[in-house]
Each structure stands twice: as C-alpha cells, then as structure tokens.
Chain A
Amino acid sequence: MINSLLQWFTDPTNWAGADGIPHRLLQHLWYSLLAVVVAMVIALPLGLWIGHSGRGRWLVSTANSLRAVPTLGLLFAVSLWVGPIFRGDLAFLVPAVFVLLLLAVPPLLAGTYAGVEAVDPAARDAARGVGMTGWQVLRQVELPCALPLVMSGVRTAVLQVVATTTIAALIGLGGLGRYLIDGIALSDYARAAGGALLVGLLAILLEGLLALLQRRLVSPGLTGGNRAVGGRGKDSGNAPVEATDSSAGDATGSHDPRVRA
C-alpha cells in the first residue's frame, strides 16, 4: 500500500496537466478563497453591527442552528436545485460555492458578534468618555479587542470550507477532492490516499498559517491572559491566547464551542 502510494506521488504524469497535483491544488485554494472572501464580506460587517448595536441577535442563532444540517445533504440538495439553472461549468461551480459560502457564514458571524459583544464595557465607556464617535469606538476599540474571537471564527470557516471543497468533488467540482472521489470510484486506492494526504496537509498548513497571522494581528495588550471571555476559569499563566487556541478546526459540519454565541 505504502509502495503504491509512493509510486503515485513520484509518477510525473500526476504532476502535469489539468488533473495534475499543482493544478488541482490551485483549484482547491481558489474555490476555498472565493467562498471565504465572499462570506467575510457578508458576515463581518453584519457581525460587527449586531455586536455593536445589540440588534438582530436572532440572525446569529439562526445561522448557528444551520450547522446541524448534514453538509453532504446540503451540497446535494443545492446542487439539484440550483445546478440546472446554469450551463456548462457554472452548473457545478455555482451550487458548490454557494454551499461553501453558506457553511462559512455561521462561524464568521458568531465569532465576530461574540467578539464585539465580549469587549470589556469599561473599555467601551472609556472610549466614549474621551469623545470617540460610535464609528471610532467600533473601529479603534471594539474591532481590535474582538480580533481573537473574529480570527477564531475565520479559522473555523476556512477549515470548514477546505474540507467541504473536498466532498464537493461529488457534485462535479474540481480541486483535490477529485483524487479522493475518482480514486474511490475506480478502486484506485493509491490515488484516493494520495489525495487524502494532500488535503490533510493543506488543512494543517492553512491552520498553522492562520494561527501565525492571528499572532501578528492581535494586539499584545490582549494576549496577556486578560480576556473578558474564554472559559479557562482559573489563571492560565501567561500563555498567549492564540497559542492555546487551535482547536478551531471544523472538519465538516461541526463547530467550535468558543465561537458559539
């Protein structure tokens, strides 16, 4: 088994052309990026507004309850329903990206809303007290303070989308999932396992990169263990928040307890 897997990885035909590893990897990243960016454009302002104004909280709980819907079922239902409207490649692309978007919005919305909601009221009052406008409070105080939870939402969303892009190969989307689905269909185990290893590595790599990004973005003032939320009960020492914060992964339909609003 290991030998055939090595053979698959070293076979030059697997590294060239439309079904080659570089092309499939780029496809996978492109679909994932497309979905996450569109979902962020929708969810981040909405979450900030809900957290800032305290209105529309039902949107967060509605989005959260969506998570119990099986991803596979959602993918199939949307594909059968939306697919026939489009022609050619779009018939596969549009329903798949739509589902990815649908799955990325709840963690982003919940993380952003919970982050803003959890900002220390004293910090908010102080900002108002020095004469900041509502917009300034949001941009200069609430957003930076909410960043750890926002980023945890982003990480959950990214992993969810990368995982779901894999199974979206079932409804005809490209990407690394093709190796898994085609490999299983053709009983070509080396191809399926090779694809699986690539997808697993990609997910772990992205998670690491996002954790690093979070470490750079979050203000050092927040990482001293002095957070308004986070259920660690007792003092957890000086461990930076982001260093202990990597269970945000959400493989296929579950969610991270910490971003639950």
Chain B
Amino acid sequence: MDWLSSHWRTVLDLAVSHLYLAGLPLVLGLVISLPFAWAAKRWRGSYAAVVTSTGLLYTIPSLALFVIMPLVLGTKILDPVNVLVAMTIYTVALLTRTVADGLLSVPDHVEQAATAMGYGALRRLFGVELPLAVPVIAAGLRVAAVSNVSIVSIASVIGVSQLGNLLVDGYRRIIWGELWTGIIACLLLALALDALILVVSRLLTPWQRTAGGRA
C-alpha cells in the first residue's frame, strides 16, 4: 500500500499503455478474423483448414513471437508495434474459430427469411448474421481479452513498457509492494475488459435480455 500511494501516477500511466497494447489488438483482431470466418462459413470445406491454420498461430509462445516479430516486420526490437502485431495475431488465432462458429450458429430459416426479404449477401451478413452471432463472438472476445492482458505483461522482457514493468522491477529489486501492485493491476484490468465486453454484448442483444427475463 505504501508503495502504491507514492507511485500511483506511474501505475496509472503503465495501465494506460497496457490497455492500449491489449485492447487495440482485440478490435483489430476481430476485424481481421471476420473475412476468415466468413470464408470458413461460405465454403464449408475450408472450415477445417481455416480454423486449424489460424489456431496454430496461437501455439507459438508469446516471448518467442515478440522476438521473431522484428525479423518479420523489419522493425526495431524495442518498437511497441511488435507487441501490437503479435497480440493481433493471437486475437485472430482465437477469434476466427469463435466468429465462424457464431456465424454457423445462425439458424438456416432465419438466413432464408432474410434472403427472401431481398437482403444481399453483404447486408445479410451485417444486418442479420453478425448481430445474431454477437453472444458467441462476445464469449470469444472475453477469452481473448483476459488472455491478452496476461500476455502483454511479458512484453516488459523485450523492453516495451506497461504494467509488466512493475512485475519485473518488483522481482529484480525484491519490492513486494510493487510486485503485488503489478499483479493486482493486471487482474483488475482483465476483469474490467471482461466486464466491458459483457455489457456491450448485452446492449447489442436486447432480445436476449427479455427472453432471459421471462424464462
């Protein structure tokens, strides 16, 4: 507590960077996974290939991916872009499967009804299929959010600042207050992102709420 009261400004700054490094890739990853998921649904035979190959990216350990990024992107090792791209890759790896499953969970008769009402493929995707897939997509996003917050802290090892700095510094100088502050701040950030996605998903699906309330 003593440590926190004298360092809260630093903690706040680091938390903002942490949120940026973990949050922006969530949005980017969602946008990028959409066409993959759409393709997996449109050409059903490609489902296994798309989901397996994107999922395989998730097996690469994070520290290794952070270190390989400069080699692939031609960036400097200290560049935060490495972390942003790596986190986006992880998000795409997690979300492609979820978004594809979400799109596939839309009942056939609903899609046929939309087509019969004159919806084109694109309008049907954004007006009918995606909104109905929101609960499934949100569940995947929550998993990705919690995962991203934990992984981003490892970027301190390659010198990109965020809450992980408190963990590394607290460990090296054996300052328990700093180490605990880092762990708890990461936890709170993960829980906050998780709650935010839950709230947004509830707001986007008002029909679910009424159905749930009456059941």
Contacts and interface: CB of A to CB of B under 8 A. Distances in A.
A184 B139 contact: no
A81 B168 CA distance: 15
A252 B158 contact: no
Contacts of B196: none
A114 interface: no
A166 B94 contact: no
A251 B59 contact: yes
B130 interface: no
Nearest to B69: A196
A256 B45 CA distance: 23
Contact of B150 (A203, A231, A253): A253
Given A247-B97, A257-B140, A1 B55 contact: no
B55 A166 contact: no
A73 B60 contact: no
Interface residues on B, range: 35 or more
Given A5-B71, A231-B136, A72 B154 contact: yes
B146 A249 contact: no
B150 to A, nearest CB: 3
Contacts of A62: none
Interface in A70-86: 70-74, 76-77, 79-80
A23 interface: no
A126 interface: no
Most chain-A Cβ atoms within 10 A of its Cβ — which of B58, B70, B101? Answer: B58
B187 interface: yes
B187 A68 contact: yes
Contacts of A232: 101, 104-105
Interface residues of A, number: 61
B147 A236 contact: no
A232 B65 CA distance: 30
B167 A70 contact: yes
A2 B68 CA distance: 11
A88 to B, nearest CB: 20
A254 B47 CA distance: 23
A96 interface: no
A189 interface: yes
Contact of B170 (A2, A76, A177): A76
Interface string A44-71: 0000000000000000000000011111
A212 interface: no
16 contacts: A5-B71, A68-B191, A71-B153, A72-B153, A74-B183, A77-B180, A80-B171, A80-B176, A163-B63, A189-B70, A203-B59, A247-B58, A252-B147, A252-B154, A254-B146, A257-B143
Interface of A: 1-2, 5, 67-74, 76-77, 79-80, 159, 162-163, 166-167, 170-171, 177, 180-181, 183-184, 189, 192-193, 195-197, 199-200, 203-204, 206-207, 231-234, 236-237, 239, 243-244, 246-257, 260
Given A71-B153, A207-B59, A253-B150, 7 more contacts: A68-B191, A69-B187, A70-B182, A163-B61, A199-B61, A243-B48, A244-B52
